[in-house]
Structure 1
Amino acid sequence: MRKTEKYPVEGPNALWQIYRTVSKWKAVKNFVWIQISRYCPSLPVKNWIYRRMLGMKIGEHSAFALMVMVDVFFPEKIKVGSNTIIGYNTTILAHEYLIREYRLGEVNIGSHVMVGANTTILPGVTIGDYAIVGAGSVVHKDVPPHTFVAGNPMRVIRSNASDGLTGTADVPDSLADH
């Protein structure tokens, strides 16, 4: 189960009421910095933007690939450990706006984690140290440490997956192409 806090709304759907929950100036500022970081080729500059301009907690030597989209409204709720790779075009959300409520949840991604390209990480999840998330996955629940998960819906492919892992060599061919 994801760990999110629920906030009920009355009237139009919660997204229609977005600026009652977050300042539009914060949203504009964050959007600009996120767009710069999405295209920035320098990993140290990206991490500086995430830490200093967006308030994220990013560990040493973590790498965000091209086009990663972090939460525009609540990036400060995202924490990434050290030496982690977030793959191309991954989306990390700390909010979800529904019809009658919105939900906020911290996203904690451990150290030495590999997140494959085009993955979506939903609010309120924790991805444990040394976990591997296959490309194109939807992370809708916690991922234990040392576990390889993949798919939509996400499922455990293998426990103790990072024992001796030196890249993607231990990823089954059927998942490596996704």
Structure 2
Amino acid sequence: MRRTERYPVEGANSLWHIYRTVPFFKVMKNFIVIQLGRYSPSLPLKNFLYRRFLHMKVGEQTSFALMVMPDVMFPERITIGENSIVGYNTTILAHEYLIDEYRIGDVIIGNRVLIGANSTILPGVHIGDGAIVSAATLVHQDVPAGSFVGGNPMKIIYTAEEMAARRHIHQEKTS
């Protein structure tokens, strides 16, 4: 189950009420900073921009590939641990606007996590340390530490224990 706060709206759909939920100038500033980060080939610059101007919590040596799209409305609700990789064109959402409500939830990505290209992470999801998310995955629920997940909708392909056993077999074969 995702951890989101729910806010009902009346009348027009929730996105129509966007600037009642988040200030226009915050969205504009975030958009500019995110666009600079999306196109910058410098990993340290991206981390600086995201920490300083978006107030994201980004661990040391974490790498954002080109075209990564952090949440433009609530990037401060995104935490990514140390030495993780967020693959090309991945979207990390901390909000979702629906017809009758909008939802906001923290996204927490652990240490040494690999997120494959073109993945989408929904609000309120936690991804455990050492997890691997396959390319083009819709992460709609928590990912256990050390597991390998993929697909749309996301499914666990290998648990942490199965991944450890596979590594052990591979090491024996190459020894």
TM > 0.5: yes
- AA matched with 1:163: A
Unaligned ranges ≥5, structure 2: 171-175
- Measure the CA separation in 2 of the matches of 1:37 and 1:136: 21
CA separation in 1, counterparts of 2:39 and 2:82? Answer: 22
Aligned to 1:119: 119
What per-residue deviation string (whole Å, max 9, x for no partner) do you get for residues 82-130 of structure 1?
0000000000000000001000000000000000000000000000000
Match of 1:23 in 2: 23
Hey, what does 1:141 align to over in structure 2? 141
- Map 1:55-94 to 2 at 5 A: 55-94=55-94
How far apart, CA to CA, are the structure 1 residues paired with 2:7 and 2:16? Answer: 14
Structure 1 residues 17 and 33: CA distance shift in structure 2, 3 A:
same
Alpha-carbon distance between aligned partners in 1 of 2:98 and 2:77, rounded to the nearest angstrom: 19
CA drift at 1:141: 0.1
Q: What is the CA distance between 1:163 and its match in structure 2?
A: 3.4
Q: Which runs of 4+ in 1 moved over 2 A?
A: 161-166
Asked if 2 retains the 8 angstrom alpha-carbon contact of 1:131 and 1:162, the reply is no
What's the offset of the Cα at 1:134?
Answer: 0.2
- Aligned residues with identical type, % of pairs: 62
Distance 1:137 1:2, change over 3 A: same
- Tell me the residue number matched to 2:39: 39
Instruction: Give SS of 2:12's match.
Output: coil
State the distance in 1 between where 2:83 and 2:163 align: 14
> Which structure 1 residue ranges, 5 or more long, are not aligned?
170-178
From the superposition, tell whether residues 13 and 82 of structure 1 become closer, same or farther in structure 2 (CA, over 3 Å).
same
TM-superposed CA distance for 1:162, in Å, is: 5.2
Q: Deviations over 1:123-175 (max 9, x none)?
A: 00000000000000000000000000000010000012653999xx9xxxxxx
Q: What is the match of residue 3 of structure 1?
A: 3
Is residue 163 of structure 1 aligned with residue 164 of structure 2?
Answer: yes
Return the alpha-carbon distance in structure 1 between the equivalents of residues 164 and 96 of structure 2.
Answer: 35
Give the structure with the higher percent helix: 2
Give the conservation status (yes or no) of the 8 Å contact 1:130–1:162. Answer: no
Q: Give the equivalent residue in structure 2 for 1:95.
A: 95
Query: 1:48-59 residue pairs with structure 2 within 5 A?
Result: 48-59=48-59
Normalized against structure 2, the TM-score is what?
Answer: 0.93
